[in-house]
Each structure stands twice: as C-alpha cells, then as structure tokens.
Amino acid sequence: MTTTIGLEIHVQLATRTKMFCGCSTTFGDEPNTHVCPVCLGLPGALPTLNAEAVHLAITLAMALGCEVHEVSEFSRKNYFYPDLPKSYQITQFDRPIATVGSVPIVTERGARSIRLTRAHIEEDAGKSMHVADITLGGETLVDFNRCGMPLIEIVTEPDMQSGDEAYEFLRNLRRLVRWLGVSSGDMEKGAMRCDVNVSVSPDPALRGTKVEIKNLNSFRSVKRAIDYEEQRQAQCLGGGTSIVSETRHFDEVQGTTTVMRSKEASNDYRYFPEPDLPLLQLDSTELESLRAQMPELPWEMQSRFERDLGLSPYDAALLTEERSTAEFFQQTIALYNNPKKAASYMGTEVARLLNERGKTLSETQLTPAALAGLLTMVENNTISNTASKDVLPLLVDTGVTPAEAVKNLGLEQVSDASAIKDYACEVIAENATQVEQFKSGKEAVLGFLVGQLMKKSKGKANPKLAGEVLRTLLKS
Ligand SMILES: [Zn+2]
C-alpha cells in the first residue's frame, strides 16, 4: 500500500490589528469585545487591507522560496455558517499572492524537499462554542473576536508519505514562522492549524481516493490522525470496500477519525472577485528590498553550523531551534573561538540550568560575553571545568561577570609555581614512606602525592602543574 499526504496549513499573521479592520488581534479576551461593523459583516461596512499582514505574508512566501506575484486578487468564498456573519469569506482563489516553493525535511528516509502548491492571504472566521451547561440550554454560542484575523494558507503538493514526514514538515514550518517573526506558530492558541489529505492505494502508480481530516491543532494529533487513517483505509481496501471522498474529524481521546460530511466540490463556494477591494499590486522595488533584508533561514544556518563549524547534527539543530539562541551562540563564538566546545557547553550545562529554572535563554541574565568569558577561564586553567558548573548559576541568575563570580566563590585555580612548590615541600616532608617508594622506582605513588597536594590547596591547585613540581623536587 502507498500512502500519499498533502497538507493545508493556516498560519495566523502576527499583526496588531485584523485583516480588514482596526480591531485588536489580542488572544484570550472576553468574547465579542474585538468586533466592529466590518468584521461583523454589517451592511455597508467596507474592508480596508492591512498592509502589515501583506508584508508578513510576502516575507514568509519569499523564505519558502515561492514565486511572489506582483498582482493578485481577493475573492469571495460563499457559504453559510453561524461563525461567518457576512456569509462569505474574503480569500484569494485563482490569483493567489504566491505559488510554488518548498520546505526541506529530514526524516529516517533522509533529506527531502516538500513542494508547495501555493500560499494565499485570507481572513479567519469566528469561533463556535458548544456549551454543554444545561442551565444554558446546551446552546452553541459564537465568539467573533477571531473573525477577520489575518491568515496565510499554505498548500503543499501531495509529497509526504507518512505521519512522521508530515510532523517534520510542520515542525520546520513552525520554526521558520517564529524565526521570521511572521507568527507565534502557537498551535494551542490556534495560530497554526492544519488540515490533512490522506489517500492510500494498493498500486504505487495510482493515487487513492482523497480523505480530508479537518482542524488538527497539534503536531502529535496530525501524526496520530494520519497513522490511524492510513491503517483504516488500508483495512477497507484489503476487505474490498472502496474509500469514500469525505471530510473526517479526529477524535483526540479515542485516537480515531469519524465522518463529518461528504466532500463539497469547490464550485459549491461560488467564488467571484471581491468587488470591495482593488487588485493587490505589489511594488517591485519594495519586493527587492524585502528580499535583501531576508535573514539567514534556520535550515540554512543549521547546515552551515555542521559544515563550517563542525558541529554535530544534534547541536546544530538545537542551536537553530530559536533565532535568539542561534544569535546568542554566534555572539559567543565571536568572543571565544571554539564553536564545538561552546555548542556542547550550551547544549549540556546551559540547557540543563535553563530546564531547571523553567526559563528561556533571553529570560536569564546570561550574556554571550559572560559565557565566552567563563569558557575562556576554563581553557586558560584559571578554573577547572568542574568549578565552571558552580560559576554558571551565578551568571544565569545574577548577571555578575565570570571574574566576579569566580572571586566570590573563591574558585580561582592556583597556577603559580612558587605557591605550588610550598605545598609540594610540605607534602614531601609529611609523607616519607611514599617518597621513598617513589625514589625506589614506584612512579605510581606520584598520583597519591598529587592528591595530598590538592587536598592542602583545597582543590585549587592546577593538578598538571602540581604533578610537574612534585616530580622535579623528588628527582632533584
Ligand atoms: Zn473589526
């Protein structure tokens, strides 16, 4: 059996106001407090295009390698639903703002590129809330705060073949939208939603009948829904039942899909050009300047870290998950020229501390200069690697410099040969038996003597230097 998967992803653009009116996009406020005649669809109210939403949509489309069209058009998608007061949604139909493009993914099957069909701008609908409370009569209520929120819809080609690939695609897309500041990518708050098309066919050369699963709101749900649907369709086909083209709902608790409705053909929506908005015309110089401002993309930076800095795939992925972390790392290695050590320290000691504190890097007092300073002190043997683990929490919590922290904790390693010589003389005087053993050729005893010296210095002596000084004294 061959499985074919395509995705449709709605990404909410991070603007301050809605797509066609000045209402706030703040999430979680009292229902129906961010509404006006435009987003409520009152007669005579006219839409005004939000330029910031267009700007964010173009930025994302460019990063996805799309062809951004200088002229695109808004259309009305007509349907009746209680959460859609105008009885039509303003979207883009046959002339979207962007077409083609791709997203790279890496799964167990290796590195692949998932092609995109198109990306278009549209407005969101309101939100129906089904109230189970009997005192409210088990009614359905509608919150129009979400109505008119700016979205970009991204449609992929049917290029994925497993739930894992879809999961990886979404993970990488979310990393990109957050990286660019185009969207929070927060699926729990509905800022990223996904519809899935799955078809299974016994013949790899033929595409099976497409089944759509609507409104999945976590990456895990997407993967679970695909895994279930793959199995269900294969079972149907195996038992001689044909697959019906339909829209299904994923039940989070049962882990199964159930029929929602049979599939509407796209002409049911009676699309026609939106008469209240002009054609969307983009300025070619403005497009060029947006292209010039495009930052290095997360997957580009990830491969560069592996290729040019020699980082492990794990460290490179970890450091490019968030743009702020990647920038922190780059500033650190500008001051401390050992990328592999810096990456591994950030991935272990720093990551563990952030985890303990439940904070992100930018929520702490740690600066790239402080981390570079700390790593340099370890490198120069000013402090031991073990001691650095006591210093780090101070840098993270209080923002003192590494030198201040080392001084406060009394951790400075003694690398002064004359101070070490004093300790060594004491150790030799107090351990006559071991000294005799060493002189008669039992070299291993040196380890014991170094240990005694370390104890005397309260662990602060540079162990390598201590060994050298003792050896010289004993041989003289
Ligand atoms: Zn409004």
For residue 369, being part of any structural domain is answered with yes
Q: Could you tell me the pLDDT band of residue 382, with boundaries at 50, 70 and 90?
A: confident
Same domain, 233 and 164: yes
Q: What's the number of CA atoms in the CB half-sphere (13 Å) around residue 475? A: 8
The residue length of the chain stands at: 476
| Cα 83 to averaged position of ligand 1 atoms, centre (Å) | 14
What integer pLDDT is reported at residue 136 of this predicted model? 62
pLDDT of residue 133: 66
| Ligand 1 centroid from CA 144, angstroms | 9
Least confident of 42-51, 212-221, 224-233: 212-221
How many Å lie between the centroid of ligand 1 and the Cα of residue 95?
Answer: 25
Q: Is pLDDT above 90 for 394?
A: yes
Tell whether the torsion through CA atoms of 282, 285, 291 and 295 is positive or negative.
Answer: negative
Report d(CA 71, CA 407) in Å as an integer: 64
Together in a domain, 259 and 314: no
45 CA → ligand 1 middle, Å? 10
| Mean pLDDT, residues 206-229 | 92
Q: How far is the CA of 39 from the centre of ligand 1 (A)?
A: 4
pLDDT per residue as tens digits for the range 62-101: 999 999 999 999 999 999 999 999 999 999 999 999 999 9
Tens of pLDDT, residue by residue over 396-437, are 999 899 999 988 888 777 777 888 899 999 999 999 999 999
- How many angstroms separate the alpha carbon of residue 82 from the centre of ligand 1? 17
Summary mean pLDDT of the chain: 93
Domain for residue 290, yes or no?
A: no
Q: How many CB atoms lie within 10 A of CB 424?
A: 27
CA of 374 to the centre of ligand 1 (A): 52
pLDDT of amino acid 50: 98
CB 355 within 8 A of CB 348: no
Among 38, 93, 101, 22, smallest CA distance to 68 is for 101
CA of 280 to the centre of ligand 1 (A): 21
pLDDT at 471 over 70: yes
Ligand 1 geometric centre to CA of 48 (Å): 10
pLDDT of 264 reads 55
* C-alpha 441 – ligand 1 centre gap (Å): 90
> Last residue of a domain, which of 352, 381, 409?
409
How many Å lie between the centroid of ligand 1 and the Cα of residue 407? 59
| Burial category of 52 from C-beta neighbours within 10 Å (exposed 0-12, middle 13-18, buried 19 and up) | middle
Calculate how far, in angstroms, residue 15's C-alpha sits from the geometric centre of ligand 1.
14
CA of 34 to the centre of ligand 1 (A): 6
For ligand 1, the distance from its centroid to the CA atom of residue 131, given in whole angstroms, is 25
In angstroms, what is the span from residue 86 Cα to ligand 1's centroid?
A: 12
Q: Which of 105-114, 137-146, 450-459, 462-471 has the highest mean pLDDT?
A: 105-114
Across 367-377, average pLDDT = 96
Do residues 240 and 339 share a domain? no
Q: Kindly state whether residues 67 and 7 are assigned to the same domain.
A: yes
Distance 98 CA to ligand 1 centre (A): 26
* Residue 384, burial from CB neighbour count under 10 angstroms (0-12, 13-18, 19+): middle
For position 345, what pLDDT does the model report? 96
Alpha carbon distance 163, 166 (integer Å): 5
Range of the domain at 347: 296-409
For residue 147, how far is its CA from the centre of ligand 1 (angstroms)?
8
How big is the CA angle at 319 (ends 318 and 323), to the nearest 5 degrees? Answer: 120
- Asked whether residue 385 is domain-assigned, the answer is yes
Find the 58 Cα to ligand 1 centroid distance in Å.
23
Question: Is residue 404 domain-shared with residue 422, that is, in the same domain?
Answer: no
Q: Measuring CA to CA, how many Å separate 349 from each of 257, 263, 342?
A: 43, 53, 10
Ligand 1 midpoint to CA 26 (Å)? 12
Quick: pLDDT tens for 345-362: 999 999 999 999 999 999
149 alpha carbon – ligand 1 mean position (Å): 9
Q: Are 474 and 466 in contact (CB under 8 A)?
A: no
Domain tally for the chain? 3
The verdict on 363 and 457 lying in the same domain is no
Q: What is the CATH number of the domain that holds 467?
A: 1.10.10.410
Cα 281 to averaged position of ligand 1 atoms, centre (Å) = 24
Q: Does one domain contain both 396 and 434?
A: no
Residue 263 pLDDT level (bands cut at 50, 70, 90): low
Give pLDDT, residue 25.
97
Final residue before a domain boundary, out of 285, 318, 340: 285
- Higher-pLDDT residue of 274 and 269 is 274
CA of 33 to the centre of ligand 1 (A): 10
Same-domain status, 173 and 34: yes
pLDDT at residue 262 in the model: 76
Question: Ligand 1 center to residue 37 CA distance, Å?
Answer: 6
Cα(388) to centroid(ligand 1), Å: 55
**Are 440 and 460 found together in one domain?**
yes
Query: Is residue 104 one of the residues assigned to a domain?
Result: yes
Question: Is 83 inside a domain boundary?
Answer: yes
The pLDDT tens digits for 447-459 are 999 999 888 887 7
CA of 296 to the centre of ligand 1 (A): 36
Residue 224, in any domain of the structure = yes
Examine the fold and report which residue of 393, 409, 425 is the final residue of a domain before the chain moves on: 409
pLDDT at 457: 81
Residues 97 and 194 in one domain: yes
- Does 438 or 131 have the greater pLDDT score? 438
How far, in Å, is the centroid of ligand 1 from the Cα of 145? 8
Share above pLDDT 90 across residues of the chain, in percent, rounded to a whole number: 78
Structure confidence by residue, pLDDT tens digits, 131-186:
776 666 678 889 999 999 999 999 999 999 999 999 999 999 999 999 999 999 99
Instruction: Tell me, yes or no, whether 403 and 436 share the same domain.
Output: no
